[in-house]
Amino acid sequence: MTRTDHAAPPATEPAVEQLGPRSAARRARRALRRRPISGLVWLLPLLATLASGLFRISTPVLWHDELATLSVIRRPRGALLDMLQNVDAVHGAYYLLMHYWMVAFGESPAVLRLPTVLAMAAAAACVALAGKRMFGARAGLTAGLVFALIPAVTRYAQEIRSYSFVVLVAALALVLLLRALERPGPVRWFCYALPVAAAGWFHLVSLVFLGAHAFGVALYWWKDRRNWRLPVGFTLAACLGVASTYPLIKLAGGQAGRQISWIPKPQLSDLAGIWPQVFCSTLLAAVLFLAAAFAWGGDRKQSALFGTVAAVMPVVAIWVISQRADVSYFMPKYLFFVLPAWAVMAGAGIALVRWRGVVAALLVMGVMVVPDHLTMHRPLSHASYTYPEAVTWFKPLDYRSAAEIVAAGYRPGDAAAYGQQKQELWWGVDTGVAYYLPDRIELPDVLLGSSGEQRDDLWPALTPDPVKALDTLAAPRIWLVSKDDGGDPFTTLPPEHAKALQDRYTQTDYQQVSGISVALLVRR
C-alpha cells in the first residue's frame, strides 16, 4: 500500500556538502537514480505492450470464438440487442463497442484486433502506476515491463474478445482504489466505482476482485487510525458499481447453463495447475511466483500482503464458486484479471536490487519467454486457448487456407455448403471461410435455413428442406467445406442433407487443411 507519514521527520543538522560543478553533477545523478523520470514509469510499459500486441497482428487465423464476435458485430444494433436476450449477454458491452468500431473502421483482422491491443497497452500503464503507488517508482516501472513480457498479455491483446478490456478495468480499478485510500472523498470513490461497473459489464466473473480490494481497504483502515470513512466509502462505491450491472446479472444468469455447461468442475490440483495457462508459460509462471515472493523481502509488508491477496484470492474464490454453482467458471481466460496484481508483485520483488540487476532480470525474462511469444503469433495459435497445455478435443480450424483453396478454383455461379457435425453451425466454418475469401467471390450457402440474425442467436441453422433448396438454386458446382470429416465430407451433414447432395452432385476434388476439408461437387 502507499505510505502515509503523519509525523514530521526529526530535525537534523544539514550536512555540509562541497559546492562546485562536479558536486552539482553528482547531486543531479543521484537525483535521477532516486527519482526516475515519472513519465517513463507508465510510458515504457505502455509502448512495450503496444509493440508486442502489434507484432504480426494479422498472422493468427481468427478462431471460432473470434468468429462469434464477428458474426454478432456485423448485425444492426437492434438485431444485436435482440440476440443478447437469448445468448452471450455477458459479452454484450464488448459487442456493442466493437459494432461501432467496425462500422467506423472496417473488419480486417488488424482493425478488429486493434482495440484489444490498445486496451492491453493501457492496462500496462495502469499496472506501472499501481506498482509505483504500492512499492515505489522503480517497482512500478519494473512491474509494467514484467506485465508486457507475459505471453498471455500478447496472446489476448490480439483476441477479438473482451478479455483485454477486463484486464484494463481491473488494473484501473486497482489504481483508483489506491488513490481513494490516499485521500478518500466522494469524487475519488465515484471514480473507483466506474471501473468496477465496467468490469462487470465486460465480464461478470471479474467482479470477484472486490473481495481482494475489501481486504486491502481493511488493511489500510487498520493502519490509518481506523478512519471509518474508508470502509464506508469503499462499500458504497463497490455497491454502486455492482448495482449498475444488475440488468446484466439477471439476464446472463439464465444463459450460463447453455454457454459454459461444458466447462468441467475444477479439481483441487487445478488450483496449482492452472497458473501456467493463466500466464501462457510454465517457466514464466515459476519465475513470477519466485519474484513475487521476493517482494516480501522489502520494507513494505502491508503492500506485499495486499498484492499477494489480490493475485491469489480471486482465483481461489472462483474455484470455490465453481464447486458450488451449477456451472464452472474455472477457465484460464476468465482469470486474466489477476495478471496486473501478479505483475505488480513480481516487479516489486525484482526492484529490490539495483537498476543494473533489474535490467538484467528483465532481459533474462525476455529471452526466456521468446519461444512462448513466437508460439502466440503462429497462424493457428488462437485455437490453443489452454496453452501451454495442448487442446486435444478438436483440431485447429484453418479457415484462411480453406478459403484460399476455394478462391483458387472458383468459377462464377459456384455455391457453397458447410458441414459442421451440428444442426446449429457453431464451429463457424461458414463465417470463417467467407471472411477470408476475396471480396470478388460470393458463394451463396445452399443449405442455409435461417441466419443467426434471423434466429436471434449466435449461429445459423440448416434448411429443413434440402431437396427444395438445392433444386431451387441448381448451382452447377458446390464447394462442400467441412469440419473434421475423417475422409468423407458427407458425414459432417445430417443424413437427409447429405443424401440430397449425393443424389444431385458428384465429388470431383478433395483437399484437406488443418481441421477442415474442401470438396468440390459437380452437378450430375
Place of cell 503462429: 378
Question: Which cell is 92 given?
Answer: 454484450
User: What integer pLDDT is reported at residue 421 of this predicted model?
Assistant: 62
What are the structural domain ranges in the chain?
A: 39-383, 399-523
User: What integer pLDDT is reported at residue 10 of this predicted model?
Assistant: 42
Question: Which cell is 148 given?
Answer: 508486457
Phi, psi of 486 (to 5 degrees): 70, 20
Is the distance from CB of 64 to CB of 427 less than 8 angstroms?
yes
Residue type, 397: L
d(CA 520, CA 468): 21
Cα-Cα-Cα-Cα dihedral of 503, 509, 511, 515, to 10°?
-10
Q: Sign of torsion, CA 218 220 222 228?
A: negative
User: What integer pLDDT is reported at residue 115 of this predicted model?
Assistant: 99
Q: How many CB atoms lie within 10 A of CB 244?
A: 16
Cα-Cα-Cα-Cα dihedral of 103, 105, 110, 114, to 10°?
-90
pLDDT in tens, 124-140: 999 999 999 999 999 99
Is the distance from CB of 209 to CB of 199 less than 8 angstroms?
yes
Is the distance from CB of 342 to CB of 292 less than 8 angstroms?
yes
Cα-Cα-Cα-Cα dihedral of 19, 24, 29, 34, to 10°?
70
- CATH C-level class of 399-523: alpha beta
Confidence of residue 393 (pLDDT cuts 50, 70, 90): confident
Is the distance from CB of 101 to CB of 115 less than 8 angstroms?
yes
For residue 416, the cross-strand partners are 445, 479
Of 12-26, 78-92, 364-378, where does mean pLDDT reach its minimum?
12-26
User: What integer pLDDT is reported at residue 327 of this predicted model?
Assistant: 94
User: What integer pLDDT is reported at residue 481 of this predicted model?
Assistant: 97
Confidence of residue 486 (pLDDT cuts 50, 70, 90): confident
Quick check: 38 pLDDT over 60?
yes
For residue 186, the cross-strand partners are none
pLDDT in tens, 245-282: 999 999 998 898 888 988 999 999 999 999 999 999 99
Global confidence as pTM: 0.91
**What is the chain's percent helix, strand, coil content, to nearest 5?**
65, 5, 30
User: What integer pLDDT is reported at residue 185 of this predicted model?
Assistant: 94
- Residues contacting residue 354 through CB under 8 Å, at least 6 positions apart: none
Phi, psi of 424 (to 5 degrees): -95, 130
For residue 505, the cross-strand partners are 523
Quick check: 346 pLDDT over 90?
yes
Quick check: 120 pLDDT over 70?
yes
Quick check: 337 pLDDT over 80?
yes
